[in-house]
Amino acid sequence: MSPRPTVLDLNTEGKLLHPSNRTPLTAEEIPPEVERHLRLDPKTTDIFLYVHGWRTKPDGAAEAAQRLFTLTEDLLEQQPHHYPRLRPFHPRYICVRWPSHSAPTPSGYRTIRDRAASMSDPGHAPRVLAAILGYYNKHRHTPEPGPDTLRTAKGQYLHAIGHSFGGRFLTHAIAQASNKLSQGPHTLGWAWRNNAYPWTLDSLTVFQMALPHDAFAQQPYSRLLADNVLNAPIAMTFSPYDRALGLWHRRTEDQKDGIGYNGATTPIEHLHTLPLHTVADPYEFPASRLINIDASSRYRSSPLKIEGAHSDYFHRESAHLLLSLANQAR
């Protein structure tokens, strides 16, 4: 049975919409609405939050999330021995939708680039996403420190996944949440856990990130290189077959390639590059905050598509990356 994600919708200002009448919720209305939609089953072990990218219609966003998570569950069922710490595995899936559709032209790209920026600053998108993450801070059981063998700790693990501009939303939200949260327990997993934070985001994966290649050298993105709620590296795929983040990104971002085209380039001391592995090849993740994942061998798409390989990440290899990061988070 294919997993069906819970869907939350944002408007062009980044405000959370009421699911029936599509009106923006006030600050007072957000907590009960989030509670109603995101109620957590105590049996859940892993929470996956997906934010889509450019030129994605509402129905397409939910379908994309379901497609990616179906690949993930199918792969785990086929080769559970590759992810020994994911036992048990009872996931919960969430899809955050936002108005990202435009014409497949450079001007359309600029429209969505500017919208993504305005939804985050001065818009409400980071606050809404931080509220979602904060809801799970309140309701989930933070994984407790496990044995020295790093077998699965007790509690729910939280994984964020973005595509394209969805990565911008997530990084803004994580930075904002990090500024607000200050005390509590930690998890056993990655090397970046910090006792100052009451919960952690246990993996962050961005497929074809729509940010300039040097974005992590400046705020707000450099905030994620310091102590924060992200208890994991930032794994970012790239492929030179992604024309949206190559040619078009250069035209709209001061001649800078997007991270999803050729990877992040700075700060060099935080960077490491790995190839996108085949599903039979286990990952060994380095102790780097920023991990470029070279997906050029798999993310190619059709040369006839105007955006190239920008959305060509629905592969078993992508699911293998997600599962490997979730496994490592234990």
Taking alpha carbons only, the member of 3, 1, 88, 4 closest to residue 46 is 88
Q: According to the model, what pLDDT value does residue 38 have?
A: 80
Could you report the per-residue pLDDT of 189-232, keeping only the tens digit for each? 456 666 655 557 889 999 999 999 999 999 889 989 988 878 88
The Cα–Cα gap between 194 and 198 comes to 9
Low-confidence winner among 32-36, 144-148, 205-209 (lowest mean pLDDT):
144-148
Q: Which two tokens stand for residue 206?
A: 């961005």
Residue 208 inside a domain? The answer is yes
Number of domains in the chain: 1
Say whether pLDDT at 27 is over 60.
yes
31 falls in which pLDDT band (50, 70, 90)? confident
User: Higher model confidence: residue 145 or residue 216?
Assistant: 216
**8-state DSSP, 112:** H
| Three-class SS state of 79 | coil
User: Higher model confidence: residue 190 or residue 263?
Assistant: 263
C-alpha distances out from residue 168 to 119, 127, 148, 245, 260, Å: 10, 13, 35, 14, 12
The Cα–Cα gap between 50 and 315 comes to 16
The Cα–Cα gap between 190 and 193 comes to 6
Q: Which two tokens stand for residue 64?
A: 């994309």
User: Higher model confidence: residue 18 or residue 3?
Assistant: 18
The Cα–Cα gap between 12 and 136 comes to 25
Say whether pLDDT at 35 is over 50.
yes
Q: According to the model, what pLDDT value does residue 149 have?
A: 29
The Cα–Cα gap between 124 and 177 comes to 13
Residue 1 inside a domain? The answer is no
Q: DSSP H helical segments within the chain, as ranges?
A: 30-38, 58-78, 106-120, 125-139, 166-180, 249-252, 259-262, 316-328
Q: According to the model, what pLDDT value does residue 191 have?
A: 60
Q: According to the model, what pLDDT value does residue 184 have?
A: 38
Mean pLDDT score, 146-155: 38
Residue 194 inside a domain? The answer is yes
Residue 42 inside a domain? The answer is yes
Residue 44 inside a domain? The answer is yes
User: Helix 316-328 crosses helix 58-78 at what angle (to 10 degrees)?
Assistant: 70
Could you report the per-residue pLDDT of 56-66, keeping only the tens digit for each? 889 999 999 99
Could you report the per-residue pLDDT of 168-181, keeping only the tens digit for each? 888 887 877 676 65
- Residue range of the domain that includes 21: 6-328
| Three-class SS state of 92 | strand
Q: Which two tokens stand for residue 110?
A: 């600029």
Q: According to the model, what pLDDT value does residue 143 have?
A: 52
Residue 70's identity, in one-letter code, is T
What is the distance, to the nearest Å, from the Cα of residue 7 to the centroid of all Cα atoms in its chain? 15
Could you report the per-residue pLDDT of 111-130, keeping only the tens digit for each? 888 888 788 777 787 777 76
Q: According to the model, what pLDDT value does residue 276 have?
A: 98
Mean pLDDT score, 277-289: 95
Residue 192 inside a domain? The answer is yes
Could you report the per-residue pLDDT of 286-324, keeping only the tens digit for each? 989 999 999 999 999 877 688 899 999 999 999 999 999
Residue 96 inside a domain? The answer is yes
| Three-class SS state of 52 | coil
The Cα–Cα gap between 61 and 68 comes to 11
Q: According to the model, what pLDDT value does residue 271 have?
A: 97
Mean pLDDT score, 61-89: 95
Asked whether 149 and 84 are in contact (CB, 8 A), the reply is no
Query: Residue 204 is inside which H or E element, if any?
Result: strand 203-207
284 falls in which pLDDT band (50, 70, 90)? very high
The Cα–Cα gap between 189 and 150 comes to 7
148 falls in which pLDDT band (50, 70, 90)? very low
